[in-house]
């Protein structure tokens, strides 16, 4: 199975490279979930073959603890599972828990709260960005456009940054949403009214790019990735208006493409397939773009194909030459990446899905707390099993390590063991 991986981290003693890998051997990924969508931001897990049932005999609840509200996905490293929360409308907190018991190991907190615009208020004004770790340091973004760097073992603060103060930028209307990306000793994030590269050791700014003047436009939703296109390693960044390829060393754009969308709702993490980039937007369309590289200047960008399929917030799953995308109309669609043709659409399920895969099956969690086990295949949609795992809303991304499934629901964290 042709499983595409990219954005490897320098993760302590674990073998995270920083180049894409194709056709990895089963079990070759480290047993950790260090940030947004897992080790490589592809939502792949190294866990072995999954059972075919989601009932309590196959997916057993280990522990559940109450937490205040958050949209951030859990981070898992070593014996730590790390979560965030917004508390009492006055402060934000990072908490580390023992993976086996849920017992608290440490906490770190800072003052910070805000209110999102009225038309989005029903979805809450809670911390959104998923932290990232290299096994030693943890980098967590707050709603008020700030970042803290913490020691993973103790929670001690190494440094803190207020991007509004540093750049004189306005508070983003939806707060900081982008999840930071760590590559060796460089940290990348859409904050401070643009796209930033920071020295991870000190927090100092290395460069600032893709600067937006409008406060709304500055609150980018998408999280960046690193990919190699036509032998050129680069950052793939989706602002509220554009899809961009950016030089790692300088922040200079290699290429840029305007993305049609409603109110800048470019939320998806871009997907790489055969030197092409896929994305889809709310109020826009799905598209696969391809490139004509240039040694001396800006690359040429063109659409390989477009589709009326319209995604919203759920980043897709790539398996072989097919993409499984949860759409704005709540259906899952299978797209043939070579042509853009729809192979099938499912019936409606939920407004939002977070999905993970082992390359053989897909595990999806909708915002209503329902877990779905899906057999991905181009011929037809096949639901293997389903189960309600939370009575609370679930907007945070699933995580899975060592057959443990981590569900961050709106009022707590549940950990299941898959046997």
Termini Cα distance of the chain: 24
* pLDDT attached to residue 125: 83
What single DSSP character describes residue 216?
H
Distance, in Å, from the CA atom of 400 to the CA atom of 42, rounded to the nearest integer, reads 13
* pLDDT attached to residue 30: 54
Longest dimension (CA), the chain: 60
The token duo for 402 is 């060592």
Distance, in Å, from the CA atom of 185 to the CA atom of 337, rounded to the nearest integer, reads 34
Answer whether 160's CB lies under 8 Å from 139's CB. Answer: no
Phi first, then psi: give them for residue 381, nearest 5 degrees. -75, 130
Consecutive H or E run containing 349: none
* pLDDT attached to residue 5: 33
Residue (of 229, 144, 142, 228) closest to 180 by Cα position: 142
Task: Answer yes or no: pTM beyond 0.85.
Answer: yes
What single DSSP character describes residue 33?
B
* pLDDT attached to residue 27: 39
Consecutive H or E run containing 215: helix 215-218
Q: Is 118 helix (H, G, I), strand (E, B) or coil?
A: helix
The token duo for 90 is 């006055």
**Which residue positions in the chain have pLDDT lower than 70?**
1-30, 118-121, 214-219
* pLDDT attached to residue 218: 53
Distance, in Å, from the CA atom of 244 to the CA atom of 255, rounded to the nearest integer, reads 6
Distance, in Å, from the CA atom of 402 to the CA atom of 52, rounded to the nearest integer, reads 17
> With the C-alpha atoms ordered 105, 108, 114, 117, is the resulting torsion angle positive or negative?
negative
* pLDDT attached to residue 96: 98
- Inter-CA distances, 76 with 60, 70, 133, 256, Å: 19, 16, 9, 34
* pLDDT attached to residue 10: 31
The token duo for 403 is 């057959």
Answer whether 399's CB lies under 8 Å from 407's CB. Answer: no
Residue (of 313, 310, 315) closest to 283 by Cα position: 310
Distance, in Å, from the CA atom of 18 to the CA atom of 12, rounded to the nearest integer, reads 13
What single DSSP character describes residue 356?
E
Distance, in Å, from the CA atom of 165 to the CA atom of 333, rounded to the nearest integer, reads 43
Beta-ladder partners of 45: none
Beta-ladder partners of 272: 277
What single DSSP character describes residue 73?
P
Distance, in Å, from the CA atom of 51 to the CA atom of 58, rounded to the nearest integer, reads 7
Buried-state track 139-160, b at ≥16 Cβ within 10 A, e below 16 = bbbbbbbbbbbbebeebeebee
Q: Is 367 helix (H, G, I), strand (E, B) or coil?
A: coil
Distance, in Å, from the CA atom of 162 to the CA atom of 94, rounded to the nearest integer, reads 17
∠ Cα 369 46 4 (to 5°): 100
């Amino acid at each position: 199975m042709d499983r595409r991986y990219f954005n490897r981290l320098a993760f302590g003693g674990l073998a995270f490279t920083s180049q894409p890998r194709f056709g990895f051997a089963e079990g070759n990924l480290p047993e950790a979930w260090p940030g947004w969508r897992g080790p490589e931001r592809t939502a792949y897990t190294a866990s072995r073959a999954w059972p075919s049932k989601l009932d309590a005999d196959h997916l057993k609840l280990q522990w559940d603890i109450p937490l205040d509200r958050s949209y951030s996905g859990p981070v898992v490293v070593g014996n730590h599972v790390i979560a965030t929360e917004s508390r009492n409308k006055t402060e934000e907190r990072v908490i580390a828990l023992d993976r086996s018991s849920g017992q608290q190991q440490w906490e770190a907190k800072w003052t910070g709260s805000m209110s999102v615009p009225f038309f989005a208020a029903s979805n809450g004004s809670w911390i959104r960005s998923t932290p990232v770790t290299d096994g030693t340091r943890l980098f967590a973004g707050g709603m008020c456009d700030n970042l803290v760097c913490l020691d993973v073992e103790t929670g001690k603060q190494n440094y803190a940054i207020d991007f509004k103060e540093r750049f004189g930028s306005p508070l983003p209307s939806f707060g900081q949403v982008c999840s930071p990306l760590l590559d060796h000793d460089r940290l990348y994030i859409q904050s401070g009214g643009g796209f930033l590269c920071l020295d991870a050791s000190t927090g100092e700014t290395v460069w600032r790019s893709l600067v937006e003047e409008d406060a709304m436009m500055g609150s980018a939703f998408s999280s960046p990735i690193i990919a190699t296109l036509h032998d050129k390693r680069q950052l793939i960044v989706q602002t509220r208006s554009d899809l961009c390829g950016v030089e790692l060393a300088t922040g200079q754009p290699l290429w840029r493409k305007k993305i049609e969308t409603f109110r800048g709702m470019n939320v998806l993490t871009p997907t790489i397939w055969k030197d092409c980039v896929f994305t889809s937007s709310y109020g826009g369309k799905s598209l696969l773009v391809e490139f004509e590289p240039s040694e001396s200047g800006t690359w040429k960008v063109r659409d390989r194909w477009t589709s009326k399929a319209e995604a919203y917030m759920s980043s897709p799953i790539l398996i072989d030459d097919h993409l499984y995308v949860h759409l704005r109309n709540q259906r899952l669609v299978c797209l043939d990446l070579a042509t853009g043709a729809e192979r099938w659409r499912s019936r409606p399920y939920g407004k939002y899905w977070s999905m993970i895969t082992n390359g053989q099956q897909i595990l999806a969690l909708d915002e209503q707390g329902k877990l779905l086990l899906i057999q991905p295949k181009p011929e037809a949609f096949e639901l293997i099993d389903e189960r309600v795992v939370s009575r609370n809303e679930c907007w945070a991304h699933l995580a899975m390590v060592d057959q443990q499934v981590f569900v961050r629901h709106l009022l707590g964290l549940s950990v299941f063991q898959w046997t």
